[in-house]
Amino acid sequence: MPEKANSPVLETSHRAFTRGMAGMAGANLITKVLGYMRDALLVAFFGGGALADAYYAAFRLVNVFRRTVGEGALNAVFIPMLEREKVKPEPAARVFFASAWTVIFLFSSLAAAAGIIFRSELVALAAWGFRSSPGQLELTALLTAVLMPHLLFVNLSALFTAALNSARRFFIPALAPAAFSLSVIALLLVFHYGGFSGLESRNKIILLASVASASGLLQALALLPGLKREGYGLAFSNPFRNLSAAPALLAAAPAALTLAQDQISMLINTLYASFLPPGSITAIYNSARLVQFPVSLFAAAAAAVSLPELAARTAAGDKEGFRARLKPALASSWLIMLPAAAGISVMALPICRALFEHGLFTPEQSLLTSRALFWLALGLPAYGFNKVSASALYALGRQAEPLAIISVQLVLNAALCLPLMGRLGAGGLMLATAISSWAAALAFTRALRARSGASPLSGIPFFRPALAAAAAGLTALLLKCTLAPAGPLAATAAGVPAAVAVYFLGLKLLKVDERKFITGGRF
């Protein structure tokens, strides 16, 4: 039966959502902090010029393939299917997992091999501007080939993560990607303290790509114990007798493409940025990494934690329960992305200087990165809304709408890049992404209203959180100006936590009850 509002079952579900969010956000916080340490060390050691551009262009290319199949995309495709198998008699779920494991292993192996074979052609398409610099094109192609095996490992890890999330296990799967950052940080520290001193910088960045690629195996191994505890093994299905997951996964391929939208947008931006001065690709990469912090920490976590329950409600035919479980995810995303947009926009330059301006990374490169970050941050609320909305539509079994919306968004993004790049450089590319994301958010709102039977925005406060976010942004601005003489680290260390405190105090004073989805009712 549908659950009534404020019923004990629904309250328990909301508490479970908050616990899952807390665990996943905590793990994501650890992985993101390590990721920023990794990126800061990398640009400090290699600078923000042509060498780093080659690495980040190659990594962006691999990331598109990885996100098309793996991570959150595979979650959205696989979990609703597995939930349907779990209501069948045993061993239906285990047989389905074995089939999916076989499909993902074979597909990812072929994709990695194709990426290695056609590395030069891929790079020529993804970084067209490098054609005028043969040495840059050759290095980027080589780094792409070195990084391609990472695709196999992380896609398998993504399948393991989806199975564990379906079992309502979130912390360890969200923590496992830290293996990538830890491996790269370890090698960069070896470089810093004189290791491999006989290698020139070009060979060092190739070695770095090799370690980054191999780190995916560590990530997969970290998930195996939990997977076995849930009863899933790694036996392959006989491709001539049972690949039951293949038709379903292939039919759902558009979902994976849709949820890789942010990576495809950045790939489009990388293509355009390859025509801009050196350092532009590094600037858009680092700005995207910073914006991904709140998106991954909260919006992607909200989408991942809510997806199993949304899929389960859909399988049970409980539309009212579906809508009740969608609200916490959308509210949590909105209440975090709104102040994040205000704070990052205000603090863009001191944040970039504090994080990246070390070693060979110059003040000019910090300024370039901060301008890109400012424009990209304006789209943060839309990025979060789109993450949750796309997952909700896939939980409903609707694949056409997200694919159509994201396809139009990508076309709009590409169309806006050229005129905005001419006016704002790398910042214009980021503004194109922000504008196209807001357009997609409007389309997602209409699609969810049509498919779930209620407006996804109903019951979610807008004006009061906006007031609290404005107060937080003003606090950050005042501290930024006051502490400017003390340096960017002092301004960032004081401004960011003060803005967060002001924001949550504002939510409490303005009686925004939805904050309980984030705080668990403790504030």
For 366-420, how does the pLDDT look when each residue is reduced to its tens digit (9 = 90+)?
899 999 999 999 998 998 888 888 878 877 777 778 888 988 999 999 999 999 9
Tell me: do 453 and 505 sit in the same domain.
Answer: no
Query: From the centroid of its chain, how far is CA 269?
Result: 16
Residues 6+ apart with CB under 8 A from 301: 21, 24, 25, 28, 170, 174
Residue 477 belongs to a domain? yes
Please name which of 294, 288, 217 lies closest in space to residue 59, comparing C-alpha atoms.
Answer: 288
Residue 517 belongs to a domain? yes
Tell me: do 437 and 422 sit in the same domain.
Answer: yes
Tell me: do 369 and 466 sit in the same domain.
Answer: no
CA distances from 507 to 22, 212, 247, 493 (A): 19, 41, 47, 22
Tell me: do 420 and 455 sit in the same domain.
Answer: yes
Residue 2 belongs to a domain? no
Tell me: do 382 and 367 sit in the same domain.
Answer: yes
d(CA 328, CA 406): 24
* Number of structural domains found in the chain: 2
What average pLDDT score do residues 437-458 get?
Answer: 83
Tell me: do 480 and 355 sit in the same domain.
Answer: no
d(CA 325, CA 5): 11
- What pLDDT sits at residue 268? 85
Asked if the bond preceding 456 is cis, omega within 30° of 0, the reply is no
Q: Which of 432, 460, 488 is the last residue of a domain?
A: 460
What average pLDDT score do residues 173-183 get?
Answer: 90
Tell me: do 276 and 292 sit in the same domain.
Answer: yes
Please name which of 107, 77, 80 lies closest in space to residue 93, comparing C-alpha atoms.
Answer: 80
Domain of 158, in residue numbers: 8-460
Residue 1 belongs to a domain? no
Whether the predicted pLDDT of 522 surpasses 70: no
- What pLDDT sits at residue 315? 65
Least confident of 162-171, 216-225, 341-350, 434-443: 162-171
- What pLDDT sits at residue 2? 46
Structure tokens at 393: 């539509």
- What pLDDT sits at residue 1? 43
> Residue 279: which region, alpha, beta or left (left: phi > 0; alpha: psi -120 to 50)?
left
d(CA 209, CA 58): 9
d(CA 402, CA 509): 37
Residue 3 belongs to a domain? no
Tell me: do 477 and 397 sit in the same domain.
Answer: no
Q: Are 33 and 40 in contact (CB under 8 A)?
A: no
Residues 6+ apart with CB under 8 A from 108: 69, 151, 152, 155, 156
Residues 6+ apart with CB under 8 A from 156: 101, 104, 105, 108, 220
Structure tokens at 244: 């039951």
